[in-house]
Amino acid sequence: MSKARKVYESMMENDFCSQWLRINPILIEEGHCILEMEVRKEMLNGFGTLHGGMAYSLADSALAFASNSYGRISPLINGNMSYAKGAKLGDTLRAEAKVISLGNKKADIDVTITCVGHEEPFYFFRGTVYRTSKEHDV
């Protein structure tokens, strides 16, 4: 098993939130990950579309697995999301995270969320993590 996968398994075991959201791993590799999540009724906002925080949560999980894949514990310090379109009940969202800059103390990660059956992305996320000197125990 790759180190990236080991870190993912170790984190996911305690990541009760990603479990709660029923986030599924499609691809886990160093600096790169793809996750999927289905839009359920309890994720809708008052407008009948996906709550902005749910789209962000999917992106944040993708960021976490991508940025921690190198082995160092790396918490999020800043996240930014742009909302292009609103997902609906039953939609399947796919988040692809890529580490776009890997420094000694921080890393920047880009996450684009598409909706199965639609060509153009729905949500654009960018986040920065602090890279601690502490290693994941894997």
Positions in the binding site for a second copy (CB under 8 A): 10-20, 41-49, 51-54, 56-61, 64, 68, 73, 75-86, 100-101, 103, 105-106, 108, 110, 120-121, 124, 126, 128, 130
What angle do the packed helices 3-14 and 52-67 form, to 10 degrees?
Answer: 140
Q: Are 57 and 16 in contact (CB under 8 A)?
A: no
The least CB distance from residue 116 to a second copy, in Å, is 18
The least CB distance from residue 1 to a second copy, in Å, is 17
The least CB distance from residue 95 to a second copy, in Å, is 11
Closer by beta carbon to a second copy, 14 or else 117 = 14
11-50 b/e (C-beta count within 10 Å ≥ 16 → b): bbeebeebeebebebeebebbbbbbbbbbeeebbeeeebb
User: What does the block give as tokens for 40?
Assistant: 């359920």
* Residue ranges of E strands in 13-62: 24-29, 32-38
The least CB distance from residue 30 to a second copy, in Å, is 16
